[in-house]
Each structure stands twice: as structure tokens, then as C-alpha cells.
Amino acid sequence: MSDEDTALGEAANAAEAVSNTRVLDVVARSGFAVMALLHIVIGAIAIALAFGQPGQAEPTGAIEQLAANPWGPGVMWAGLIGCAGLSLWQLSEATLRARHLPAGQRLGKLISSGFLAVAYGSVGLTFAGFAVGLRGDSGDSTRDFSTALVQGPLGVPALIALGLTVIGVGIYFIVKGVRKQFKEELHHFEGTRRGRMISALGVAGHVAKGIALILAGLLFVVAAATNRPGESTGLDGSLKALRDHPAGPFLLMAIAAGLISYGLFALVRARFGRM
């Protein structure tokens, strides 16, 4: 091994040690709690959509609901800090700690944790926008991003690749839920009523979140295939499109219940999860 490789290895070890500090642990756990709250609010908005009520069933809509409360400004800054810490923690999972995994698992960890790092960072920026008085519609942001991506050098293939990546992450969540792989992230509750309840929340929540991501990813792929990037409207657009089908309201209610379940599971993850 060369001196350069040794120096890089020592730098990576030092960075990993920093990522294991108590401060980042606490902030990342608060980020899980923030995301739990958002999933519960999004689930509640999705239920309202199933009954024909207006709303945005995505992070921006949920953050807008939280910002409207008297304690809104404090919640916005707390949400920003929590999401930023969680994004940094996921980034360290995708890079620093993934290097210890077998080669076959390394790529999967890079994609899944890397995607989540970007997603949590994006939610953190939304909190920041609301904190300083800049509010937006995530559907509009998604459309603008998709349009800009299509007009870029790689164009349609890039948008299809993005959609397939989102679909892949959705499949990952479903598999994780069905196989109960989320149990590896928790301190054991096996053999207790509480453990069975947490397991049920984990299964329902991961499967519902996976389905929601697949629907959102499909919108990207369809928008790219039809060369209409304006139709890629993210989670909110996919759930509203689902509502328009004959059995849509019932499916939307099921997904909403699953998202709330995921939120409750994430609260448990925030308190008892392995970091």
C-alpha cells in the first residue's frame, strides 16, 4: 500500500470517528423524529385527499401545516437541524461505513443511503425556506427540475434513470419491510407485545413507503417516455393520480395508513434504533 493510500485510509478513519460522535447521534435521532412527524402528517393529508379535500401529500405540504402553528418558526429551525444531521449521518453510512461491507453489498448501501442523504437534505432545505419566509410547491419544484434535466446533455435517459432509481429505492423499502430487515436497526423487542406491534408497524410502513416511491418513480419514467417532463409531480402528484382511478380512494387510504405506520415506526427508530 502506498503512502497516499495510507493517508487516505487514515483520513477516512478520522472522518468515521467524527461521524460516530454523540452530538451527531443525537441530532440524527432528532432527524428521524422529524421525518416521523412528516410521514404522519403526510398520511393525514392523504386521507383528506381520499375524501376529496384539498392538500399537498408530500413534505412541503406537511411542513406548511407545521409552519402554520404558533410554534411554527421554532419547529422550522429544529426541522432544519434534524434533517441536516440525518443527511450527514446517511452520507457517512453510504461512504465511510459502507467501505467495511463486502463488495457485493457496498453498491447497494451507496445507492440506498446516498439517496436518503439527498432526500433528507432536500427536506432540510425546505424547512430552511419556510424558516426564512420562502415557501414553495414541491410539485412545481419537481416539474422544474425534470424539465431542466430533460433539457440537459443527457436529457430523457437521465430522467428515466432518475425514475428507475426512485423505483429501485421503493422496491428496496418493500423488500426490507416484507423480510423484516428493519429489525437489524432496532434494539431487540422480540417476544413481547410491544415487539410484535413495532414489527407490524415496520412491515406496513416500509411497504407503503415503497409503493409511494414506486408510484412517484413511475411518473418520472412516463414523463420521460412521453417527453412531457411537466407531468412528473412527485409524491403528491402520484397519489392524486391514484385517487382518480375507480378503486383509488381505497388504495389511497391504505397507503395513507401505511405512511402513518411508517411515521410511528420512525418514532421508535428515533428512540431505540441502532446508530
Whole-model pTM: value is 0.80
Region of residue 192 (left: phi > 0; alpha: psi -120 to 50; beta: else)? beta
pLDDT in tens, 84-132: 999 988 888 877 665 656 666 667 777 778 888 888 998 999 999 898 8
Q: What is the DSSP string of 177-229?
A: HHTTGGGGGB---TTSHHHHHHHHHHHHHHHHHHHHHHHHHHHHHHHHHTT-G
The pLDDT of residue 16: 54
What cell numbers appear for 246 in the block? 375507480
Domain ranges across the chain: 3-272
CA distance 272 to 67: 28
Query: Digits of tens for pLDDT over the chain (275 positions)?
Result: 454 445 445 444 545 555 567 788 889 899 999 999 999 999 999 999 888 888 888 888 889 889 888 888 899 999 999 999 999 888 888 776 656 566 666 677 777 788 888 889 989 999 998 988 876 555 555 655 666 665 666 667 877 888 888 898 899 899 999 998 888 877 666 667 778 888 889 999 999 989 988 988 887 787 777 766 555 556 777 787 777 777 778 888 999 999 999 999 999 888 887 76
